[in-house]
């Protein structure tokens, strides 16, 4: 269908997307200006990186084309990944609150029979196309980008892609084909009742009662905390200790302890240093055999196995057809301009090394676009802020206390609750702010944790760490501030205008120390 001259509103887009998803034979959607053209770049994949890259290239005056197999732009994030994760994590935070406060204050006795994984999955699937509709609309009408949707791209050569029965030519290709969950090599994974974050939203058709998660990734922690909060008893089986995998940088040990102990406090079982040996069952998974850290081999009963052992880029086609060099884990090798080993071919987002996070995907796309348009720019994502959910929002940026102590002579720590030998801080309702006030006044030990790491010599903030609610947004700006060339001193931080009560108390706590020539802990 040619849609270039059509102006769908959001409801019409929604219907078109839903109809296309429901019908395997639905036709491609061509949003093309019409003339035969050589595009400045053909973006293979219209996910986060492709969409932002194409939009930027267009904004700079170039001519991009996006091709995507799905009938919508935005990729896996709004369809299977970040958006459902956030919905589920919000449900987890809310269920957690309702459980702790069962029959207290204005909360009724918690009714676990109402909480359901399946119901939340259905809520997500029923609503997900509204975000898709918006992105299709925005990309067409506001960003004025040409695209072909609902058509799987076939890469012909480094200037040519076929899709929807037509052939498209570009001076450059930008590969943004994403990644897919990878499974461990153990027997039994063909059984029913085994899911990953993709198949969870696409295929779940029963209510799990007992979950075994294989893997210790962010996804393991985030989805596990949600499953458990619904009342599905959840066990995590992970080789590496949670939050200690190399893929997560800068995890402070005190923050890690607060987070993992918090999961255990809520009844989750976490086996670290454990190796899954097999999933067992006749048709459906009934148990998982695991070798624990102490060598014991145990059978964990379950009716729901969730695989969270990471993802692998969809890089095989690019490797075979174009000959781009690929690393040992399938990641396409690129330089800091996102160019692959093949001239005029770029790769972005989850296709390449580094964190599989939104900021990286989008900024990779922009980096490729700017370089294609002649604006030489390099994107270095070795430092970035990070976060994950349990029933909390956990955010961090910069150095951990241990990393700072290894690198700097005088490290000053400002934390809440403070660590003071012998002080009875267990009922201290600090830190607290929006969405942790009920905890602060009823279950103060649940209200959160935070730490600021400062170089006592230069007075610069080296790292910030937070568990609680409402600080995620700020960590984007803290990342910018502490990583700018001049850094962020405790003096500048302490002179900012806080909005009290603020989720992380860094500004006011810094102010209580900034008067001192020689900084000390707080």
Residues 139-198 that bind its own copies (CB under 8 A): 141-143
Find all residues with CB under 8 Å of 144, minimum gap 6, and list them.
Answer: 58
| Residue from the set 430, 462, 464, 467 that interacts with its own copies by CB under 8 A | 430
82 assigned to active site: yes
16 assigned to active site: no
Residue 120 to residues 79, 115, 179, 388, 473: CA-CA distances in angstroms? 14, 9, 24, 19, 25
Residue 513 interacts with its own copies (CB under 8 A): yes or no: yes
| Residue from the set 478, 489, 490, 510 that interacts with its own copies by CB under 8 A | 478
Task: Tell me the C-alpha distance between 89 and 142, whole Å.
Answer: 31
Residue 374 interacts with its own copies (CB under 8 A): yes or no: no
Q: Quick one: 421 exposed, middle or buried, by C-beta within 10 A (0-12, 13-18, 19+)?
A: exposed
Residue 100 interacts with its own copies (CB under 8 A): yes or no: no
User: Facing residues of 161 across strands?
Assistant: 155, 168
Q: Name which of residues 380 to 409 contact its own copies (CB under 8 A).
A: 381, 384-387, 393, 395
Among the listed ranges 233-241, 255-263, 287-295, 496-504, the one in contact with its own copies (CB under 8 A) is: 496-504
Which helix (H) or strand (E) segment is 511 a member of? helix 506-514
Q: Name which of residues 442 to 471 contact its own copies (CB under 8 A).
A: 442, 444, 469-471
Considering beta carbons, is residue 243 or 285 the nearer one to its own copies?
243
Q: Do the Cβ atoms of 454 and 413 come closer than 8 Å?
A: yes
* Minimum gap (Å) between residue 442 Cβ and its own copies: 7
Task: Tell me the C-alpha distance between 228 and 105, whole Å.
Answer: 24
Residue 107 interacts with its own copies (CB under 8 A): yes or no: yes
Question: What's the CA angle centered on 211, arms 210 and 216, to 5 degrees?
Answer: 155
| Residue from the set 65, 95, 338, 356 that interacts with its own copies by CB under 8 A | 95
73 assigned to active site: yes
The token pair that represents 386 in the structure block: 């990070």
DSSP string, 70-133: SSSSBTHHHHHSHHHHHHHHHHHHHHHHHHHTTTSTTPPPP-GGG--HHHHHHHHHHHHHHHHH
Q: Which of 79, 85, 132, 466 is catalytic?
A: 132
Residue 224 to residues 55, 108, 211, 228: CA-CA distances in angstroms? 36, 25, 8, 6
* Minimum gap (Å) between residue 57 Cβ and its own copies: 7
Residue 423 interacts with its own copies (CB under 8 A): yes or no: yes
Q: Name which of residues 6 to 45 contact its own copies (CB under 8 A).
A: 9-11
Count the Cβ atoms, other than its own, within 10 Å of residue 495.
12
Q: Name which of residues 191 to 230 contact its own copies (CB under 8 A).
A: 230
| Residue from the set 192, 239, 249, 435 that interacts with its own copies by CB under 8 A | 435
Question: Any idea what DSSP says for residue 349?
Answer: G
Considering beta carbons, is residue 158 or 513 the nearer one to its own copies?
513
132 assigned to active site: yes
| Residue from the set 366, 412, 413, 467 that interacts with its own copies by CB under 8 A | 366
Residue 52 interacts with its own copies (CB under 8 A): yes or no: yes
Catalytic residues: 73, 77, 82, 132, 500
């Amino acid at each position: 269908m040619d849609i270039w001259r059509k102006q769908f509103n959001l409801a019409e887009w929604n219907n078109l997307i839903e109809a296309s998803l429901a019908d395997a034979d639905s036709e491609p959607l061509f949003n093309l200006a019409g003339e035969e053209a050589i595009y400045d770049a053909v973006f293979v994949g219209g996910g986060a990186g492709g969409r932002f890259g194409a939009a930027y290239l267009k904004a700079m005056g170039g001519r991009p084309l996006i091709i995507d197999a799905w009938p919508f732009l935005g990729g896996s994030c709004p369809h299977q990944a970040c958006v459902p994760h956030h919905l589920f994590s919000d449900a987890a935070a809310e269920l957690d609150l309702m459980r702790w406060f069962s029959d207290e204050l204005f909360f009724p006795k918690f009714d676990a029979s109402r909480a359901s994984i399946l119901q939340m999955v259905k809520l997500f699937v029923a609503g997900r196309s509204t975000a898709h509709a918006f992105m299709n609309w925005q990309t067409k009408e506001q960003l004025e980008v040409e695209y072909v949707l609902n058509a799987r791209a076939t890469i012909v050569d480094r200037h040519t892609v076929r899709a929807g029965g037509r052939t498209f030519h570009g001076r450059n290709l930008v590969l943004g084909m994403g990644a897919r969950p990878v499974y461990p090599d153990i027997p039994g994974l063909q059984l029913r009742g085994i899911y990953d974050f993709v198949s969870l939203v696409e295929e779940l058709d029963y209510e799990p009662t007992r979950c075994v998660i294989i893997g210790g990734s962010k996804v393991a922690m985030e989805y596990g905390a949600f499953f458990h909060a619904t009342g599905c008893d959840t066990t995590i089986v992970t080789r590496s200790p949670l939050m200690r995998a190399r893929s997560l940088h800068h995890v402070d040990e005190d923050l890690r302890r607060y987070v993992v102990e918090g999961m255990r406090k809520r009844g989750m079982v976490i086996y670290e240093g454990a190796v899954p040996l097999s999933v067992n069952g006749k048709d459906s998974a009934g148990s998982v055999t695991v070798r624990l850290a102490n060598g014991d081999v145990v059978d964990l009963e379950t009716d729901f196995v969730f695989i969270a052992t990471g993802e692998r880029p969809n890089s095989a086609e690019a490797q075979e057809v174009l000959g781009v060099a690929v690393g040992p884990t399938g990641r396409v090798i690129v330089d800091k301009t996102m160019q692959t080993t093949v001239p005029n071919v770029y790769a972005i987002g989850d296709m390449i090394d580094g964190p599989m996070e939104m900021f990286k995907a989008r900024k990779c796309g922009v980096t490729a676009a700017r370089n294609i348009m002649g604006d030489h720019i390099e994107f270095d994502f070795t430092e970035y802020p990070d976060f994950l959910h349990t029933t909390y929002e956990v955010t961090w940026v910069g150095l951990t206390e241990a990393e700072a102590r290894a690198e700097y002579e005088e490290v000053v720590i400002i934390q809440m609750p403070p660590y003071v030998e012998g002080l009875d801080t267990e009922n201290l309702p600090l830190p607290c702010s929006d969405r942790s006030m009920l905890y602060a006044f009823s279950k103060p030990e649940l209200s959160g944790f935070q730490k600021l790491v400062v170089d006592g010599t230069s007075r610069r903030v080296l790292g910030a760490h937070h568990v609680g609610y409402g600080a995620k947004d700020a960590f984007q700006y803290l990342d910018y501030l502490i990583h700018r060339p001049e850094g962020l001193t405790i003096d500048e931080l302490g002179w900012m205008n806080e909005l009290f009560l603020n989720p992380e108390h860094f500004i006011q706590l810094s102010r209580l120390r900034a008067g001192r020539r020689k900084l000390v802990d707080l």
